[in-house]
Amino acid sequence: MDKKLLICGTGVLLGIAFFLSAGMKVASTAEAANSRTSPLKKEHPAGERSASSRKVQAADPRTDLLAELGGIAGSADGFDHECFSSLLVKLVKIDPEAAAEFGTSLPAGPAREEALRRISQAWATEDAAGAETWAAALPDAVERESALGSICMQVAQLDAGQAILLAERHSLAAAPVTENLAHLWAAQDFPAAATWIKARPAGEQREQLVMRLALVRSATAPAEAARLVVDEIPEGHVQTEAVISVIYQWARRDMAGAREWVGLFPESALRTRAENELSNIAAYQTPEQR
């Protein structure tokens, strides 16, 4: 009896051991299968990036702008100045050096002239010193003076005195742009502009500059402008034009005062012309204004 129980118990234990062994094998096999088929366990090949980490490179806007500019400059259907200028300004804001390189690569003609002018203005708005350095290095003397003049005019919108200094640094004092700069300076700071102009050497350019002073002053103080013309400009065609300009401004504000001043002129061609100018202005005024 004891032997039978012992044999029976041993059989039960062996059965349990077999069952556990078989279960572990099944579990191991299933786990191995899962590890081969589960996408979570899959490793990416070397050098491959997942979609979530892939970076999309943004297009360089300079490429598109340069392509459009080149198309307009080389168009056989006519030159679109407005579009060309607008695109150039955009390019200067992004990369002024690239804009400058494009402009100087164009052949001689309207597109090149427009490009250099607009680049000068736009660059001066963003960085006057950088624009000046670039323009001063242009090999062609005419293009160099034109570009520097455009830069001066842009700078003058905020500080004409600084623009005058810039012009002097590049020997542009005798250039026509200086008269426009002086006019702007007189409107911004009349005493400073007058001091600089009166210190200029005698000659027609000084006379033209004084006339610009008188034009600015005649809008608010015509009597002072009249004295400036008489005292600072010698007789001649420049003085004559300055006198007529002052009379025009004065008569529109104060016809009686303008008539009184002209009445002091000696009998001459200038007086005759001045009186004719007064008559022309009076023809468009009301009786009260006369």
- From the list 132, 114, 112, the residue with the least C-alpha distance to 123 is 132
pLDDT at 18: 35
Measured between alpha carbons, how far is 66 from 115 in angstroms, rounded to an integer? 12
249-279 pLDDT tens trace: 999 999 999 999 999 999 999 999 999 999 9
44-83 residues labelled b (16+ CB within 10 A) or e (exposed): eeeeeeeeeeeeeeeeeeeeebbeebeebbeeeeeeeeee
Beta-strand ranges (E) seen in 115-260 are none
pLDDT at 51: 43
- From the list 121, 67, 70, 68, the residue with the least C-alpha distance to 96 is 121
Measured between alpha carbons, how far is 179 from 93 in angstroms, rounded to an integer? 30
Q: Which residues have a Cβ under 8 Å from the Cβ of 149 and sit 6 or more positions away?
A: 167, 172, 175, 177
pLDDT at 35: 45
The pair of three-digit structure tokens given for residue 283, joined into one six-digit string: 């023809």
% of the chain exceeding 90 in pLDDT:
66
Per-residue confidence band for 285, with pLDDT thresholds at 50, 70 and 90: confident
Question: Widest CA span of the chain, in angstroms?
Answer: 165
22-79 pLDDT tens trace: 444 434 444 444 444 444 444 545 444 444 444 444 578 889 999 898 888 887 667 7
Is the pLDDT at 245 greater than 70? The verdict is yes
Q: Work out the burial of residue 4: count CB atoms within 10 Å of its CB; fewer than 13 is exposed, 13-18 middle, 19 or more buried.
A: exposed
Measured torsion, CA atoms of residues 260, 265, 271, 275, in degrees rounded to the nearest 10: 10
For residue 39, the 8-state DSSP code is G
120-131 pLDDT tens trace: 999 999 999 999
pTM: 0.72
pLDDT at 175: 72
Supply φ then ψ for residue 63, to 5 degrees.
-60, -45
pLDDT at 81: 84
Per-residue confidence band for 215, with pLDDT thresholds at 50, 70 and 90: very high
126-184 pLDDT tens trace: 999 999 999 999 999 999 999 999 999 999 999 999 999 999 999 987 778 899 999 99
